[in-house]
Structure 1
Amino acid sequence: MKHLKLFIGYLIILVTLVERSLVSAFPPQSIPQESSTKSHSTINFYGIYLSAHQFLLRHNIVNGTGKPVSQVLDEFFGTDRDSQTNFYLNILKITDHQNIVQKELAGFAHYHVNGEQILTAHNYVRSLRKSLIDLAESGADIDILRERVGQCLYTLQQFYSNTNWVDLHGDTIIKEFGISATLPVSISNLSDEPCSDCPTDLTSLQSGLCKNNTRTTKLTSGYKSKQDVSKPPSNNQGIGKCSHGSQDDTSRLKSATGGIYKGRSSSAHAPHFYLHNEAFEAAKLATVYFLSDENDGLFSHLGIYLTKEVFQIKSKKENKEVKDYSITFVIDVTGSMSDNIAKVIQGAASFVDQIRQSKRIPEKYILVTFSDPVDLEKSRVTNDADEMINWINGLTVSGGGDCPEYSLSGLITGATLSNFNSTIYIYTDAPAKDESRETEVIEILQRKTITPKFRLRNECGSRRKREIGRYKRQSSVYDSIAQATGGDVERFSSSQDLADKVQEDLMSELSFIQSNSSQAISQNNLPSSISIIKWSSTNTNQLTNIEVDNSVDSMRIEINGTSNSSEIHLRNPNGSLVDSGAQDVSLQYSDYLIIFLIESPSKGLWTLENIVSNPLTINITANSSFDISSSLREISFEGFFYPLNGNPVSGEEYVIVVLLENLPANSSISSIVLVDEKGNAVTTTVANLLSVTPNLQYFAKTKIFKQIAGVQIHGQDSTSQQFIRSCKHTINPVDVTLKMKLFIGDLSLSNIEQLEYNITNHGGNNRSLTLDVSDDKGYIVDNRSIHFHISPGESENKLVFIRGTQQSTIVCHPLCDLLAT
């Protein structure tokens, strides 16, 4: 029997859907066949980029006197390419929140400012904006604030695509929309008929014969079929209410025929295509005003700190050095930890907060939570301390049932994700149920020189001593692991003692940082932008190719499985054997580990040969301005790409989108490759250009049948030298999905509301599952554990009923597919 867990946590957004129609505004992303069509992604990039520029100047963070916008941003980020990439990726995150509204709420006119729902849309944005500001003041999660920003900007931008404002006023903006109590414009009423007939055939549209179909100076918007507001019938021949007018809008065939949509530059899709650029300019300027106006802008309400966090206007240049080490917490979240979790949360969050203010901040923060059964284990990695703190503060406990837990599995995951020469802190009250993995744990900790710190609180504190005795031998596993790896084990009789130890660990960590800060990373002198070239596993006499292109300034080759450099042959493009005596080459050694640090490596194909009997694991990174990131997208029925929430379904087609930062001039891209955890290619697909500006993106359509560990992009530089760039990207296809529906609205106090969810078996076998539902507010009023028996291809819809009991409480469920494998 498999278990699905549904947790309704800090913030609830529920779902309602009507029949979907095609995109009715600016498209979600660039359209390769329509290079002149501007998307939400484009509007956001320019709008947020310009807003960040104004923010930096207004607060004297950068001197912008006489400098173009791009130079100001470049000076702010400097050589900190990682932070600059995070800034761009954050814009895409905000765009993803827009895309979700565009896709999931396509049938509701006011989200898109269709159907003359102008005042409704205006007040909706005002309400969202106020809730965003209130949430910011209450210390809400940063991701929630980003979500609200995306929702506000979506409808704000749609105003210029779907109304006749641009027809009347060009690329100017209405500053009051979504902000002020009233709009200083006249709006069409029910009896007005603001449009006249115009042709609907493609030839006429291409000839511009629908240019003069508006006949009013009042503000109006078009009706669109399949939405919740229907177009009223006309009372007079040849005139009537305006239609949206896209090709899927059947209301365009009724008087007044035609439409006023201008969200695309293609006459085949938008009757007012000739106004597309003006609509884009207005939407961009409105975005800048909404965010950064000195009096009304959102930035002024969020304040300097939150603005930096929400929009990732951050750089690591504050005299801090990014060190190649990690901070990892492995935390037991089973039910027996309920007496201890608050203290662990408090201590761990404080730990991270103070570490990020130290002289050397870690390259990444890692959080692993383990439970029972083992497949409930979760792991998360970030280089953003605030994101880590938010994850820690959001921890809750549930499940378990018996005393021992799968702690060693969690430790292995944490060690796998951790950097070399790092420390892992393990918090649990239970012995190890998976003690058989002791040797595996010791091997990986020794290989990566990782020190474990076990912090144990009254093993299964709520259990009877008689039961604890049954697992006394198992608890000694922690001592064995610590002894073999240089770690330590401490046990505590109270939660407060445990919390005090967390602070003691922090002081020890800070002391170590202080004493070693002068050394920092001088040995390899790698700045904060580290690009992954590739990773691989090799056997005896096997060659690994290392492609070094013109953008590589220095290279790090990490070889796990040997500490004897004579057991490997590293050769440069000239075929010469490389050792520590070579110019600009240094070696680092530890148990089962060799690291080559190579400054200014020769461009061309390097090779590394494994000449020993043991398999080796190789990780190759470079200091390079050129890097990539990837996202997995689902394909809508109209062919657009939307964010995939959760896991893909095995065998269905999806899209891998790769964002390229600073691709060297005159380079070409050939393929996108999905690789497994050993670096072996699983799928190789031709790379297709998605967009050039404002971001260079490529995409590939593919079906996924097995676990993927990363994405590579292959190509050639200006000298025809092959290059590879990789990024970590775990993809786990599933055959059972759990989906909940979307609704943006309020949970009325004391009223019972329903959350609808669907479970589907996409596989070829019968599945027996149990859905366990829990929440941290006590709002659920019905069955919390439901059993399913689902045949292949079948779906079942169920409801969870909740009732609010606290005023001004934000509730949410994750908008994602949960899975049973």
Structure 2
Amino acid sequence: MKGIVVSILMTIPILTSAFYTRQSPDRRTYTHESITEVGTLQALSSYIWKNKLKQVGSEISAVEVFYEKDATSKIEMGKSINAIVQAIADTQVEKKDIAYVHCHADQILLAHQHVISCRDKLSQLKNDVVELRKQLGECLYTVQLFYSNTNWVEMYGEVPYEDFGIKGKRLMAVALPEEDTCKDVKNTDLNCGQNIIVKDKLTSGYHHGRGNTKPTRPQGATTGKCSHGGPNDESRKMVAKCGINKETFIERLSPHHYLHRRAYLSAVAATKDFLIMEDTGILSLLGNKTFDEIFHIKTRKDLSLAFVIDYSGSMKEEIAAVKERTIQHVTATIGSDNEPADYVLSLFNDPVTMNEAFVFRDGYEIIKKIDSIKVDGGGDCPEFAADGILKGTIYHTSKEEINVVLDAIIEKTFPVAEVIVDSFEWSLTSDDNTMFVVDSTVTVLKVAVCCPGEDSGVELFYPNGTKETFASRLSRKLVTNRKEVIISLQHPPPGRYNLERSLPYKWSVNITAQSPVKLETEIFEYTESGALPILKGSPIAGKNYTFYVNIYNLGENGTCNDLILTDILGNALFNIPIIQTTTLMAVRCAAIFTTPNQV
């Protein structure tokens, strides 16, 4: 018996010492995620327009134009930005007690030197794109916080400080340790707008609990060091009271809340400069090739999908499984965004004179050829395999593992997001008509019925009641040697479809669909700072976690309503209400919940 204990928590932590990483306490507040997305996309648009599109068209729309015909690569670009955002969140948590990382406590020169050092480390990681993104996130964290946590914006508005974090550049004057920087005010959380007294030099607030202690001032003093401010900063109660942070639009969290948008705009500009500024950006440091790898700035070229199959006598026991899996992969690519330019089938045998090679433009033609393969000849001789492979890449595997390796190789080069619409056993006692729904995002619909044969009477009806006759090249019906019927429709209209059988046979039915919609799930740990570091390991019963589902290519009208938590067998345990938000790259469904206890 299972007992489920569930608490749904839809609150956002209000304890932070930086821009919020992803979720913010109100819709007006910008986050590290929005800063990083906007700044990075501005940088990528400029870079792509100049280097990939040769300054043709609009610079603003360069990213959309570049990825227009390759939704998969655009999603990978978005995921690369998300990885940098995650590194920012991890930095906020893992280095919370290092004041200069957050530009706290007048440690701005140390912050400047930290960014220089951080930038230098990037060049040492050129061959490891994963670590590069992590290091880049650490650098950008401090770069962005300079505008939230110092008085730069109070002095210069939304203009980025181009010398900050740049080797060889001398930082402007910073307030001395003994120098008072703010005047005391009556309140600790409100009406603190004009409390900074230093001019023409940088200062930043102290933040107790973040690796620094604010100097005390004698009773009756009217000036002192500035505080960061906000309910998580006890130093705001000391002279000079209140604070100067610009993290949010909410006054009780950010004493200089009225400058939040300016801090955001300057942080966006600084992010763009950090990436592509002439001579000082990481593009100049790392070069175009590495820059392309970091952000997946590439699109698929026209490729051939090649299969090399041993049809010698030793394959007698395995050939049926190889043919079935190969046909599944071909049908999955036909009509999809990742359909190859052509299909190559290379057959090898012993003796070598029995080797054959074929090229097909039509996926259904290679399926017919694969289906007709019959084992022949003697035992295979390994050296003849090279002749069959031609110029392809060689992968070593056993016969027992061939399907696993085949799946991995093809998925890497020709990724296909295939979702199960329905899968069931069509028993003799079931109704001879079954209905399923196809939505507007589906690009390829595949119905596989096993195994009635050619004259089975398997019929498919459209939402308007019309029967599919397979007269168009957008619809095909294939019957394999094992008598499996495969029906494939490209760009099917949305609605309720009907599958009908006219003979009383027991069938296995598998209905799948391909769609440009892609899902990415993430589980984050709860922290007081609201930074949302990614969960390392497994969830612990009774602890709070934030669960994200990022949905790419869902469209303007797409919505998500609930997250369903299941057990390891896929049985639904309960629904979790969600908050739906939108980033520049995806629709996000978020839920904050307590992991259930299982009894």
Alignment TM-score > 0.5, same fold: yes
CA distance in 1, matches of 2:469, 2:436: 16
CA displacement at 1:300 relative to structure 2: 1.3
Partner residue in 2 for 1:62: 53
CA displacement at 1:215 relative to structure 2: 0.5
2:234 equivalent among 235, 250, 256:
250
Residues 593-651 of structure 1, C-alpha deviations (whole Å, 9 max, x = no match): 543221342221224478753544442223x4x44433233333465643223333356
How many residues are paired up? 511
CA displacement at 1:157 relative to structure 2: 0.6
2:74 equivalent among 59, 71, 84:
84
1:585 equivalent among 457, 463, 475:
475
1:25/1:142 Cα in 2 relative to 1: closer, same or farther (>3 Å)? same
CA displacement at 1:259 relative to structure 2: 0.5
2:26 equivalent among 34, 37, 44:
34
CA displacement at 1:122 relative to structure 2: 1.5
2:86 equivalent among 77, 96, 117:
96
1:57 partner letter: W
CA displacement at 1:669 relative to structure 2: 3.3
Q: Is the 8 A contact 2:440 2:494 kept in 1?
A: yes
Partner residue in 2 for 1:193: 180
CA distance in 2, matches of 1:664, 1:258: 44
CA distance in 2, matches of 1:634, 1:184: 37
Q: Which residues of 2 match residues 501-540 of structure 1 at below 5 A? A: 507=390, 509=392, 531-540=417-426
1:243/1:597 Cα in 2 relative to 1: closer, same or farther (>3 Å)? same
1:581/1:681 Cα in 2 relative to 1: closer, same or farther (>3 Å)? farther
Kindly indicate whether residue 268 of structure 2 is the aligned counterpart of residue 284 of structure 1. Answer: yes
CA distance in 2, matches of 1:230, 1:504: 73
Partner residue in 2 for 1:75: 65
1:608/1:528 Cα in 2 relative to 1: closer, same or farther (>3 Å)? farther
CA displacement at 1:226 relative to structure 2: 1.0
1:587 partner letter: K
Tell me the SS of whatever aligns to 2:561.
strand
CA distance in 2, matches of 1:287, 1:487: 64
Q: Which has the larger radius of gyration?
A: 2
CA distance in 1, matches of 2:195, 2:298: 48
1:634/1:567 Cα in 2 relative to 1: closer, same or farther (>3 Å)? farther
CA distance in 2, matches of 1:422, 1:684: 46
1:213 partner letter: N
Partner residue in 2 for 1:7: none
Q: Unmatched 5+ residue regions in structure 1?
A: 1-19, 321-358, 363-420, 425-438, 452-482, 493-499, 512-526, 706-761, 765-821
Partner residue in 1 for 2:512: 619
1:640/1:361 Cα in 2 relative to 1: closer, same or farther (>3 Å)? farther
CA displacement at 1:156 relative to structure 2: 0.8
1:47 partner letter: G
Partner residue in 2 for 1:559: 448
Kindly indicate whether residue 208 of structure 2 is the aligned counterpart of residue 225 of structure 1. Answer: yes
1:305 partner letter: K
Q: Unmatched 5+ residue regions in structure 2?
A: 1-12, 311-316, 330-372, 395-412
Tell me the SS of whatever aligns to 2:546.
strand
Tell me the SS of whatever aligns to 1:539.
strand
Kindly indicate whether residue 98 of structure 2 is the aligned counterpart of residue 108 of structure 1. Answer: yes
Residues 453-511 of structure 1, C-alpha deviations (whole Å, 9 max, x = no match): xxxxxxxxxxxxxxxxxxxxxxxxxxxxxx9999999899xxxxxxx999778645369
Partner residue in 1 for 2:338: none
Q: Which residues of 2 match residues 429-578 of structure 1 at below 5 A? A: 445=322, 447-449=324-326, 507=390, 509=392, 531-541=417-427, 546-552=436-442, 554-559=443-448, 561-562=450-451, 564=453, 566=456, 570-578=460-468
Q: Is the 8 A contact 1:243 1:259 kept in 2?
A: yes
CA distance in 1, matches of 2:36, 2:148: 15
1:574 partner letter: N
CA distance in 2, matches of 1:617, 1:653: 37
CA distance in 2, matches of 1:704, 1:545: 36
State the identity as a percent: 26
Partner residue in 2 for 1:260: 244
Mean Cα deviation higher: 104-113 or 556-565: 556-565
Partner residue in 2 for 1:814: none
Q: Is the 8 A contact 1:21 1:106 kept in 2?
A: no
1:699 partner letter: A
Partner residue in 2 for 1:184: 171
Partner residue in 2 for 1:297: 281
1:491/1:155 Cα in 2 relative to 1: closer, same or farther (>3 Å)? farther
2:576 partner letter: T
Tell me the SS of whatever aligns to 1:698.
strand
Q: Is the 8 A contact 1:292 1:300 kept in 2?
A: yes
* TM-score normalised by length of structure 1: 0.56
CA distance in 2, matches of 1:620, 1:648: 32
Partner residue in 2 for 1:417: none
* TM-score normalised by length of structure 2: 0.75
Residues 559-605 of structure 1, C-alpha deviations (whole Å, 9 max, x = no match): 27436363755432234554545784212343475432213422212
CA displacement at 1:548 relative to structure 2: 2.7
Q: Is the 8 A contact 1:558 1:593 kept in 2?
A: no
CA distance in 2, matches of 1:113, 1:188: 13
Tell me the SS of whatever aligns to 2:440.
coil
CA distance in 1, matches of 2:520, 2:133: 20
CA distance in 2, matches of 1:675, 1:612: 33
